Structure 1
Amino acid sequence: MTATLDHPLVEAAHRLADDVLSPAAEAHDREGVTPEAIAAVKASGVLGANAPAAYGGSEAPAPVGREIAEVLAGACCSTFFVQAQHHTPVRTLVAGREAARERWLRQLSDGTVLAGVAFSHLRAYPRLPVRATRVPGGWRFDGRVPWYTGWGLNDLFVLGGATEDGEVVFAVADAVEQPGLTPTPPLQLAALTGARTVGLLLDGLVLPDDAVALHLPHERWATDDRPKNTNTNPAVFGVARAALALLDTSDDGEAKGTADDLRARLDAARRDAYALVDEVPPAERLDDRLAVKTRAYDLMRAATTAAVVAGGGRAFGLSHPAQRLAREGLFLVVQGQTAEVRTAHLRALRT
């Protein structure tokens, strides 16, 4: 198995996983991530992993953030996915306007506040699922956010909207029902229903100018955004590793042998994926990134399927982690999927 990084935040993630998330994972999957689990996430320090030290964060190296993601995803993917949203608002505020940064970044960095995101719909441009319109003193948002994770758990979120003339606006809002913002009922999903995902109906939500973190041309934002989803999500390795750990506990020698074989191949894919992130400029070798991403998907699917096979009929009980990991793996296959990723994955499945 890949060696665990020696870092206080990685140790904190393991304690959080072992003491809080793993024991509750099946309950979270069926009934929803609890406020108590989120309180433990906030207290652990992991929310500040990539936040600047000047604002109370840890400013940890990228490999530390990836290891934390793997540990949390393998323990409880629903909780992982809720907290995963938080790191994008942190980066947005770091790069954004001073007023928004000074108002919110410290609370996000020290874990006092948990943030979500509502802007993946911007990838549908030139369609405008959420329209941003300039009004006196701020911006008005209208439309529908199809996917918002963490409702009832997040304190704030960053909302993105596009203008008629090709600009995008990102603003910070309170994650509560308010004039101009209404959540849909929770979405019932095949996996990660526990992450409390809803749609957001926007009908004249007005956010003031000092809530705006970024305002830039859509094409400039998209140029930076497009390469990101060609990289392999660390959660894929976390779920696969958790499935292999189940095989390790089996009394069946074939199960253990399968785990050993898959682990070696998974570690190789992990090294290749992270080398591309660490050593190659973000917009280069996209085909190689997509190739290792689909390879990692295949290995995750093999690992979770092996855990179900080894568990037999018992693995289909909702109290058994194998079936949960298999469903979480399917979720990760489509999470953050772009047309480019979908095309590459479908083509890879032909061979």
Structure 2
Amino acid sequence: MTTTRHPLLATARALADGLLAPHAARVDQEGVPVGHLDAIRSSGLLGVSAPREYGGADAPDAVAREVQEILAGACCSTWFVQTQHHTPVRMLAQSAAPVRERLLGPLSTGESLAGIAYAHVRAFPRVPVRATSERGGWRFDGRVPWYTGWGLNDVMLVAGVSEADEVVFAFTGAHEQPGLRASEPMRLAALTAARTVSLELDGLWLPGDAVVLRTPQEKFALLDRPRSTNASPAVFGVAYAALQVLEDAGESGTASALRERLDEVRGQVYDLAGHPVPYEHVPERLALKTRSYDLMRAATTAAVVAGGGRAMGLDATAQRLFREGMFLLVQGQTNDVRRAHLDALAQF
């Protein structure tokens, strides 16, 4: 699987094999423990893409993708909590706003862990969260449907849309405060362990120096689109983990056939992910994403079939990977992705 040699890949693999994978079944049932995140914080993996001058590794995107793939294949719940962190880091690294100097260092070194509360911005022209300029800062009102890592993260990146259709991104503490209230953690078919809540924003006021970015919604959509049209590295991580289960069950022939196809699609996906113009080749990206889903689904299904009745136990790796794969089918889903996936399934 390794396409690029980098010290953080060895770090990720050691963490995956020594801690995450051995405890994944327990985490799935009991929740992501603080100890797992502490290990990731101290490993340097939270700063994989962060600037060196702020304590990060400034690793190539190919390395960052493979790190995420490794972690997701070992424990998807732990992966999902920590993967939220990397978007705020990248946004701060590209910003000249004052909040960069306050937060980029702690986020790059792992001293602080960030979550994100902005996926709802993709629902435009519907505006689940409104941002209003007020008293030298910004007031946020509305409902954030999904926020992962509640009780585990230190800070959150929240966003709303202004009356001028400008997307406003700002940082605040990841805890209840005036104007911000969290639901109870959701019980989900997969990744309940990641502590996902909804957030009610009722007059959450943040000062102007908490803002990291203000950008027209159309520009945000153009730059954000690749995040949803490219297949997630987690899809490959879960698929490869399922193939290992299949091999361990003695079904090396089936595993080998699926692995060959998965390797090919993975290479194509990552080649496009590294394209210098990230919003080009959207139809090809979507086609490869649905093909990636097909192969992940085949791999996780094969692992369950090979396990027989034993695969139905809650401590069985095969059924956990199957459920995690189901989650990845809708994680970060947009209308474009949904339409492309359904159209492909109609021709299956």
C-alpha displacement at 1:280, in angstroms? 5.4
Provide the residue aligned with 2:248 in structure 1: 249
Give TM-score scaled by structure 2 length. 0.98
Provide the residue aligned with 2:293 in structure 1: 297
Question: Contact 2:97/2:211 (CA < 8 Å) preserved in 1?
Answer: no
C-alpha displacement at 1:92, in angstroms? 1.2
Q: Are residue 93 (structure 1) and residue 89 (structure 2) matched?
A: no
Provide the residue aligned with 1:277 in structure 2: 273
Look up the SS of the partner of 1:98 in the other structure.
coil
Q: Are residue 22 (structure 1) and residue 18 (structure 2) matched?
A: no
Which sections of structure 1, spanning at least 5 residues, go unmatched? none
Provide the residue aligned with 1:315 in structure 2: 311
C-alpha displacement at 1:4, in angstroms? 5.6
Provide the residue aligned with 2:128 in structure 1: 129
Return the alpha-carbon distance in structure 1 between the equivalents of residues 3 and 111 of structure 2.
27
Note the aligned Cα RMSD (angstroms): 1.0
Describe the superposition over 1:126-154 as per-residue Cα deviations: whole angstroms up to 9, x where unpaired.
22111111111211111110000000100
Identity, in percent, stands at 59
1:259 alignment partner, one of 255, 261, 278: 255
Given the superposition, is the C-alpha separation of residues 280 and 4 from structure 1 closer, same or farther in structure 2, using an over 3 Å criterion? closer
Look up the SS of the partner of 2:91 in the other structure.
helix
Provide the residue aligned with 1:152 in structure 2: 151
Describe the superposition over 1:264-288 as per-residue Cα deviations: whole angstroms up to 9, x where unpaired.
0000000111111223521211111
1:344 alignment partner, one of 336, 340, 347: 340
1:326 alignment partner, one of 298, 304, 322: 322
Structure 1 stretch displaced more, 92-101 or 317-326: 92-101
Provide the residue aligned with 2:32 in structure 1: 33
The amino acid that maps onto 1:314 is R
Q: Are residue 169 (structure 1) and residue 168 (structure 2) matched?
A: yes
Which sections of structure 2, spanning at least 5 residues, go unmatched? none
Return the alpha-carbon distance in structure 1 between the equivalents of residues 227 and 79 of structure 2.
19
Provide the residue aligned with 1:206 in structure 2: 205
Aligned residues: 347
Describe the superposition over 1:23-68 as per-residue Cα deviations: whole angstroms up to 9, x where unpaired.
1111111111011111011011110001011111000011111110
Provide the residue aligned with 1:76 in structure 2: 75
Describe the superposition over 1:277-308 as per-residue Cα deviations: whole angstroms up to 9, x where unpaired.
22352121111111111111000000000000
Look up the SS of the partner of 1:349 in the other structure.
helix
Question: Contact 1:97/1:214 (CA < 8 Å) preserved in 2?
Answer: no
Return the alpha-carbon distance in structure 2 between the equivalents of residues 294 and 230 of structure 1.
10
Give TM-score scaled by structure 1 length. 0.97
Return the alpha-carbon distance in structure 1 between the equivalents of residues 345 and 100 of structure 2.
44
